[in-house]
């Protein structure tokens, strides 16, 4: 387990996946943040919480066991709704990033967007 000071090393932003189920949060980090109901990629808003903190603790130990159902929304791809929701959620992240304490790290946001297919929305 290790503590990461985001003010000193924001590169960790590119290593974080936007899945809510793989993290433990303080409840107050979600003040003012809502998951967009009924949308694919709604977990992307989890990354907005990282824009509110200065430090995080990372561990390689597993505390969550994920079971994927065949009818899960994560198995539905390439519909127009899928892409509309993807860009909607990416746009929420970009807007939050541009108003955050880390807005001078645009290269990290751009790398995240390219890696996750959001290149057309580059900040």
The number of beta carbons lying within 10 Å of the beta carbon of residue 115 is 11
pTM listed for this prediction: 0.80
Round to whole Å and give the CA distance between 90 and 85: 8
Q: Per residue in 2-45, pLDDT tens?
A: 898 999 988 888 887 777 777 888 888 888 888 888 888 888 88
Average pLDDT (65-89) is 78
Distances (CA, A) of 32 to 26, 53, 114: 13, 14, 27
Nearest to 47 by CA among 75, 10, 80, 79: 10
Q: Per residue in 86-112, pLDDT tens?
A: 889 899 999 999 999 999 999 999 888
- pLDDT tier at 120, thresholds 50, 70, 90: low
Round to whole Å and give the CA distance between 67 and 64: 10
């Amino acid at each position: 387990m290790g503590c990461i000071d985001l003010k000193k090393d924001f590169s960790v932003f590119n290593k974080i996946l936007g899945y809510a189920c793989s993290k433990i949060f303080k409840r107050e980090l979600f003040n003012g943040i809502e998951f967009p109901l009924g949308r694919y990629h709604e977990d992307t808003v989890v990354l907005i919480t990282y824009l509110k903190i200065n430090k995080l603790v990372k561990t390689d130990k597993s505390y969550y066991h994920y079971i994927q159902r065949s009818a899960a929304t994560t198995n539905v791809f390439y519909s127009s709704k899928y892409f509309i929701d993807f860009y909607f959620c990416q746009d929420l992240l970009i807007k939050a990033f541009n108003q955050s304490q880390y807005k001078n790290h645009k290269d990290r946001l751009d790398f995240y967007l390219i890696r996750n297919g959001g290149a057309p929305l580059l900040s």
